[in-house]
Structure 1
């Protein structure tokens, strides 16, 4: 049977060949393996909503994601990341999954909690499962590490973050889409339409489902921004459920639900990043009038 090629697949193959040429040069290889993966971009975003309570105006929420400890990211780098996050003094810290690249092969899980425990945020620390956290028989191991790190692990669960004034916002976390058991209706229907809400969902492309519920902001990771990009073309390869929304800010559905896709910290499959700089995201909540 004769195989046909689309124009896009032809261009992608051609560009992949060009990128391969770049990466085989000494500078390209050195940059993609040793320089860009060790850079860190702090992305700052304002989130506007009239659902934000007055007491939460100018409060900050920090998202980090996809550390993938073990492949090319190590504990010393994690300690540096913790120091950087603490220097930003966020009110809330959210981790959107994929802590270890291969949990059953990682030799130092017991050394992770003392590092993550040092993260400081007065209104709490929350985490969800990513596909790598369930993979490699890592489900229980990840749960233990996250809870020992003083994070609340949200698995199809909804919590409130409440101020002394009694004002609150809602935060929920779905189980991983690929290897877990996400309960969309059961979880997201518990969100209050008049209350500002954040949904932590590892894979971004299910935003079309989340947008059918009263979600103000979905935070995801998973895609790594493609991990390798080309100018004017974007990511060469994106993972399942990370193709439609590979990185950055979007508005989804008729409700214009806000979605932010974080490029993550570490790498997976191959220890390279090219034009997909690791990032942490600092969101500042801004109350607007109706």
Structure 2
């Protein structure tokens, strides 16, 4: 009887040991699969669609928004990205900055991409903090005229200014304004063009790299029909329900990490970006290309 009990105890122990091995193996497979899936989606991009309605629009406009590429390439010379943009048949292409890296003087990826994109539709580019460092944040002998190289492709490069454009018969104002200070006198420097932009009765589209412009920047109550931004890379790690987890500039749960937001005077759409330049990897946060349909049809937007 005693031998039988010992055998029962040993049998239970063996079963528990096997179960622990099975559970451990399952966890290893799960986490390896999760890491593999995350690596896979980070090497591709998804497409996110939004619709914005305005009574100022007669004929519909389709805009494609890209940002935060950080010199990343999807296929040879970004052929996959260019092809995906062309398939959307955009009327205009918006770039919300940080297509380059401040610590890399080779900006050929951004330049070649712009050269290809202008063959699809007019391209409007507002600089981000990485372009700003290359243009003005380095010793004078090390600076790089990013704006000049981009303009040579036929791209409209905004430097705290705006233009009036006609898109599908609609007269619209398109502006690119930075949201953070570049030192003493910066706010006065852009005050007049920004106020002139806001005073227009036409549809107003504002490109600003920093979402912070809309709650702590120089013009938190900016008056625009549509505003687009980027910078936060989707909050790097995205959690279900809560959204972006962290960005070094804004801490945990950045206010506008990615998606659509209704402001007092504008609809704000924030891109999660196409690349990365942070030590924290993107997790559950696939790079994205944004497509925005701007329509005058009522009932298209909640």
TM bucket normalised to smaller: 0.7 to 0.9
TM-score of the aligned structures, taking structure 2 as reference length: 0.74
Match of 2:267 among 254, 258, 262: 258
Partner of 1:194: 201
| Change in CA separation of 1:178 and 1:238 when aligned onto 2, cut-off 3 Å | farther
Whole-angstrom distance in 2 between the partners of 1:119 and 1:69: 15
Unaligned segments of structure 1, at least 5 residues: 1-20
State the distance in 1 between where 2:120 and 2:70 align.
Answer: 26
Greater share of helix residues, 1 or 2? 2
Structure 1 residue 237 and structure 2 residue 243: aligned? no
Asked whether 1:28 is paired with 2:42, we answer: no
The DSSP-based 3-state class of the residue aligned with 2:144 is helix
1:86 equivalent in alignment to 2:86: yes
CA–CA distance in structure 2, aligned partners of residues 115 and 203 of structure 1: 22
| Count of residue pairs brought into register by the alignment | 257
* Pair member with larger Rg: 2
Q: Paired residue for 2:132? A: 134
Instruction: Work out the CA distance in 2 between the residues paired with 1:175 and 1:39.
Output: 29
Verify the 8 A CA contact 2:118 2:153 in the aligned structure 1. Answer: no
Unpaired stretches in structure 2, ≥5 consecutive residues: 1-26
Once the 2 structures are TM-superposed, how far is the Cα of residue 284 of structure 1 from its aligned partner?
1.2
Q: Residues 158 and 99 (structure 1 numbering): CA distance in 2 closer, same or farther, change over 3 Å?
A: same
Q: Deviation string for 1:104-159 (max 9, x for gaps)?
A: 435x4345433421114676211011111123548634223322332111011110
Aligned partner of 1:177 in structure 2 is 180
Task: Give runs of aligned pairs for residues 206-217 of structure 1, distance below 5 A.
Answer: 206-208=213-215, 210=219, 212-217=221-226
Residue 237 and residue 169 in structure 1: after superposition, are their counterparts in 2 closer, same or farther (change >3 A)?
Answer: same
Q: Is the 8 A contact 1:204 1:241 kept in 2?
A: no
1:169-200 per-residue CA deviation (whole Å, 9 max, x = no partner) reads 00000135265846553232112442110110
What is the CA-CA distance between 1:63 and the residue it aligns to?
0.6
1:8 paired residue number = none
